[in-house]
């Protein structure tokens, strides 16, 4: 199930970058905060749990400087030279991609791979996607994106529609991670992804294909991510749930589970930053 969860979050990150971003780059007005310290060799280690059971540990570190379109970024890597994908969504999104600070915003650039199933591989480039803004006030909707794309799954053309919202969460003088340490000067971001999928199926020969809902529009991802000043990402709590339509009576087996529900958490257990 790990790849399914990572894919949904990768999708959330990618769709928010489609089309014009209008992020109003504020690089000429630098911010004094440091909610994700960007120094080469900085690293963070997270305990990842699903439904209250520990499933593994992820390491995230800044590998090197890299220049893209005349801007200097920090390139991130996860789990050092390990070949296994990260367990957590945050490390999964950051892995192999590059980040720079512009004013109060953290801007992500790179390539995100989607894999809702083995039948649906998609790679999408993202450029300066704002993943965090320390200057935004609580309740500010930083990003809202409605769009769709088409793909073929198990021989059937499908259309995926989505509605992504990213909203600035709480600003907390102090925050205690569940079962962990307390941190001061903490800000959060809430990400919500509503997703719908419809397949184009030819029910009778010679009759134009009919659009059949596979996934009725529903919130499949709701995630709250916490950042502490001068430390970085300290905790993430993510709810992933969906329910597909039942086509078993038609002899059709879908390439991903019909229902899925999981709560994933990522808890900082060690870090070294400058």
Backbone angles phi, psi at 34, to 5 degrees: -150, 65
Which comes out higher in pLDDT, residue 112 or 157?
A: 157
List, for residues 153-172, the tens digit of each pLDDT value: 767 788 888 777 778 899 99
Mean pLDDT, rounded, for 170-191: 94
Does position 264 have pLDDT exceeding 80, yes or no?
yes
Which comes out higher in pLDDT, residue 204 or 270?
A: 270
pLDDT reported for residue 9: 42
pLDDT band at 56 (very low <50, low <70, confident <90, very high): very high
- Long-range (24+ apart) CB contacts under 8 A made by 27-31 are 27/102, 27/103, 28/103, 29/103, 30/101, 30/103, 31/101, 31/103, 31/104, 31/134, 31/135
β 210-228/182-201 pair status: antiparallel
pLDDT reported for residue 72: 97
Instruction: Determine whether 261 is exposed, middle or buried from the number of CB atoms within 10 Å of its CB (0-12, 13-18, 19+).
Output: exposed
pLDDT reported for residue 89: 81
pLDDT reported for residue 68: 93
Helix (H, G, I), strand (E, B) or coil at 245: coil
Tokens representing 89 are 């969504």
Q: Which residues contact 86 (CB under 8 A, 6 or more apart)?
A: 6, 58, 60, 78, 79, 92, 95
- The conformation of residue 117, written as its DSSP 8-state character, comes to S
Which comes out higher in pLDDT, residue 174 or 115?
A: 174
Does position 65 have pLDDT exceeding 90, yes or no?
yes
List, for residues 6-37, the tens digit of each pLDDT value: 444 444 443 333 333 444 454 444 567 899 99
pTM > 0.85: no
């Amino acid at each position: 199930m790990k790849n399914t969860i990572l894919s949904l979050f990768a999708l959330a990150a990618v769709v928010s970058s489609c089309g014009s971003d209008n992020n109003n780059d504020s690089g000429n007005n630098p911010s004094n905060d440091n909610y994700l310290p960007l120094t080469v060799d900085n690293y963070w280690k997270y305990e990842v749990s699903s439904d209250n059971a520990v499933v593994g540990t992820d390491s995230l570190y800044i590998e090197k400087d890299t220049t893209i379109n005349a801007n200097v970024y920090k390139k991130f890597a996860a789990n050092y030279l390990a070949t296994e994908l990260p367990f957590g969504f945050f490390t999964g999104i950051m892995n192999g991609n590059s980040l720079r600070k512009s004013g109060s915003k953290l801007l992500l650039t790179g390539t995100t791979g989607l894999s809702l199933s083995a039948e649906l591989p998609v790679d999408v480039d993202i450029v300066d996607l704002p993943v965090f803004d320390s200057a935004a006030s609580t309740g500010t909707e930083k990003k809202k994106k409605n769009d769709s794309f088409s793909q073929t799954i198990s021989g059937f053309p499908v259309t995926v529609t989505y509605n992504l919202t990213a909203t600035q969460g709480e600003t907390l003088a102090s925050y205690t991670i569940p079962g962990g340490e307390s941190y001061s000067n903490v800000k959060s971001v809430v990400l919500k992804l509503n997703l719908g999928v419809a397949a184009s199926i030819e029910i009778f020969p010679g009759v134009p294909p009919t659009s059949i809902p596979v996934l009725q529009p529903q919130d499949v991802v709701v995630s709250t991510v916490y950042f502490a000043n001068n430390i970085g990402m300290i905790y993430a709590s993510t709810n992933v749930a969906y329910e597909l339509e039942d086509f078993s009576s038609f002899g059709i087996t879908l390439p991903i589970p019909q229902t899925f529900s999981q709560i994933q958490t990522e808890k900082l257990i060690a870090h070294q930053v400058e």
